[in-house]
Structure 1
């Protein structure tokens, strides 16, 4: 709870004397409590940050996003490994004189598309990181 008190002091030195009531269903209340726990912020701070300070920004569970990004990174690594294996096999076939030009002709557009998608994914990840930092 030490973190909550530090957040309160850093947000404003002004004494808060006004109350604001929010009605929630039981499901919404449970969601709010889970959000509070995941973000490590008080309910009041979540509302203040979301509504008053950063109304155009989104509160995110960075732990969950990092897990998802880690999974994406693992998949990209596997793809790169597969491409290296294909390249090694193609070189072996070329050295043996068994690599047909039709295979390379068919492979080139697929590899080009892979590179395009990987660049697009990199741009999306960079944008997501900027959004998480609040730099939109």
Structure 2
């Protein structure tokens, strides 16, 4: 439920140390909200009604995960390209195929878990 201006009847003024004010400003900036909204969200969080998401850290983490996923996909492509260089499948050890298929299946399971997590994150911040 969004607060409307008429619901905000109490003005509160207090002083902070320089480092506290900087922390509040940095935190509010990284969350993309004002100081007042940050403090309101903190009060709601203490009450159990709201969550505060530091979007800059979230986006950096998601970017790191996407980069790692890209590296894994690149490695899979390199393995497939290497396997295609063999003219006779009989030249390859069957254990290599079994191991590759096992690892590929694990990768696909992890990728699906990661996609489910991304969907949950998206729903929680939208």
Structure 2-normalised TM-score? 0.75
How far off its partner does 1:37 sit?
Answer: 2.5
- Shifted more, 39-48 versus 14-23: the winner is 14-23
How far off its partner does 1:15 sit?
Answer: 6.2
1:33 aligns with 2:30: no
Query: How many pairs are equivalent?
Result: 123
1:47 aligns with 2:49: no
| Structure 2: gaps of 5 or more residues | none
How far off its partner does 1:24 sit?
Answer: 6.9
- Shifted more, 16-25 versus 66-75: the winner is 16-25
In the TM superposition, 1:31-110 aligns within 5 A as 31-52=23-44, 55-93=48-86, 95-96=87-88, 97-110=90-103
* Aligned counterparts of 2:114 and 2:29: Cα–Cα separation in 1: 30
Structure 1-normalised TM-score? 0.71
Q: Which has the higher contact order (CA 8 A, sep 6+)?
A: 1
Cα distance per residue 1:61-113 (max 9 Å; x no partner): 223312221221111111111101101211222x2342221211222222211
Give the match for residue 4 of structure 2. 12
* Aligned counterparts of 2:72 and 2:13: Cα–Cα separation in 1: 51
Q: 1:15 to 1:69 in 2, by over 3 A?
A: closer
How far off its partner does 1:119 sit?
Answer: 0.9
* Aligned counterparts of 2:48 and 2:123: Cα–Cα separation in 1: 16
Tell me the C-alpha RMSD between the 2 structures.
Answer: 2.8
How far off its partner does 1:60 sit?
Answer: 1.4
